[in-house]
Amino acid sequence: MEKQRQLEAPIEFCKKFWSLLRVIYVANSSDADKIKWERCDLQTELNFMKYWLEHLAPSIQGVKLTASDLTAVTSPVLTVHGTKDRSAPYGGARDWATMLPNARLLTIQGAAHAPWIEAPEQVLGPIQTFLAGSWPTAAEKVSPRTGSERL
């Protein structure tokens, strides 16, 4: 991939990269064209791997949250997650909603990393409800998994 990148202009490479990557953000590949995230005019996108390796990854690795750190988070947290997410697995969303004391999980069955694109009616209304100060009906308080549940 690096040799290919050297042969192409950075903006063209960035556009190709995003045209391929957006397919994993949706469960149904026909929804991929709805994703318009390429920001190839930004320096951080043109040099994404360098930026990721030198700045983002070390920053993420430096965060060491403990269970007691998370109990201090008292504000309401609504986690919205698709069950078919290949970029950030659904189990991670359950973990966050379990660990945060005032959290709920809004599960979007069959959606991937961008559930608002694949199921806007299931996502946007509940977000509005949450921002207005109430828990959406479909948002659930989750318990730690026992390992026997199936999605």
pLDDT digits (tens, 9 = 90+) for 13-61: 888 888 888 899 999 999 998 988 778 888 777 777 788 889 889 999 9
Q: Are residues 56 and 74 in the same domain?
A: no
Residue 21 within a domain: yes
Residue 148 is encoded by which pair of tokens? 């026997």
118 φ, ψ (degrees, to nearest 5)? -85, -30
Per-residue pLDDT reduced to its tens digit, 87-135:
899 999 999 999 999 999 999 999 999 999 999 999 999 999 999 999 9
3-state secondary structure of 37: coil
Q: Does residue 127 sit in the same domain as residue 94?
A: yes
The parent domain of residue 106 ranges over 67-131
Distance from the Cα of residue 151 to its chain's centroid: 18
Residue 144: the pLDDT is 76
Please indicate, yes or no, whether residues 86 and 105 belong to a single structural domain of this protein.
yes
pTM of the entire predicted model: 0.79
